[in-house]
Amino acid sequence: MPRERPPPCRRSSCVRRGRGGDGPESAFQILLPRRAPLNLAAGRLRQRSPPDHQDLVRLQPPVLQDRAPYALAQAGIPPETVDTVLLASMSHLEQSPPAAPRVAHRMGAVSAGAMDVGAACAGFGHALATADSLIRSGNSRHVVVVGSERMTDIVDPLDRGTAFLFGDGAGAVVVGPAAEPGIGPVVWGSEGDRHEAIAHSAPWNGRDTEAAVRPTLRMDGPAVFRWAVSTVPRTARAALDAAGVTTAELAAFIPHQANLRIVDGAASALRLPPHVVVARDVVHAGNTSAASVPLAMEELLARGAVPRGGLALLVGFGAGLSHAAQVVVMP
């Protein structure tokens, strides 16, 4: 029997938390430095390719040392009171140790629980949903959610199917308690039978053989495009329904910045009203995988394109194949 749709949230009460009473409700918000300059200190990497000596972990700490404390200061939260750090990334090349504990330590959250989230381009949405659950359950009060990628480490510069698409970057948000709810239920899923649509060119254990080659990212572009143009609108509509809001109530649509055709195609399929701002940061930053949604959020905030308190529909999608979407209140 289908679940009854919850009544729409009033605009003043932001986004509904929980799914029709499933478990306790606990309001929280996303905190981001508004009107921050678009530079490294603000958590945005202007360059598409960092110097070769910068690995993924060294790429992230400057972002968190300068930008996350600013967001924490807005909420009056010292770094040492951060309970959990979640790092979404598909380009951290070490299976162990994970990158998140080092990121947490370098940002001053020395006692925080920390873990990597491996959901590729949908990773930020998965991490944000995990932060939601941690706060709702009472296991965490403040969670830093990071999306960070060094895609140049895993892309073949000679591969015409991927080299021109991907970029490097990092973005972070702080999720904490608030008087009113600030995030809607997540709608997510995966289609593991299509895992080869975005995959490595060779297994990493092949490096043990004499003829081993470095694995690089490969993508079946047409197959991914066909999947995305049907999956993104469907997932987006489900997230709107779960939050109890309509497209008319949105201020922004912020999908994963895969490419402009998919972004514009999804916006068109959703028939968004003219006032809804569509994030197109892919034009400047490229496809930064798990970092693309927080970077696009910050780009809209930095230029004042979205009002504080406006509702934004976030949709991540990519390798897996996997997807995740939720409605949030912009800080």
**Active site residue ranges:** 121, 256, 287
Region of residue 257 (phi > 0: left; psi between -120 and 50: alpha; otherwise: beta): beta
Q: Give 261's contacts (C-beta < 8 A, 6+ positions apart).
A: 225
Measured CA distances, 207 to 94, 185, 213 (Å): 14, 42, 6
**For 313, phi and psi rounded to 5 degrees?**
-100, 115
Task: List the structure tokens of 219.
Answer: 């993508």
Is 249:270 a contact under the CB 8 Å cutoff?
no
Q: Tell me if 200 sits within 8 A of 216, measured CB to CB.
A: yes
- Give the CA angle between residues 287, 293, 299 to the nearest 5°: 95
Distance in angstroms (rounded) separating the CA atoms of residues 320 and 318: 6
- Tokens matching residue 37: 């300059």
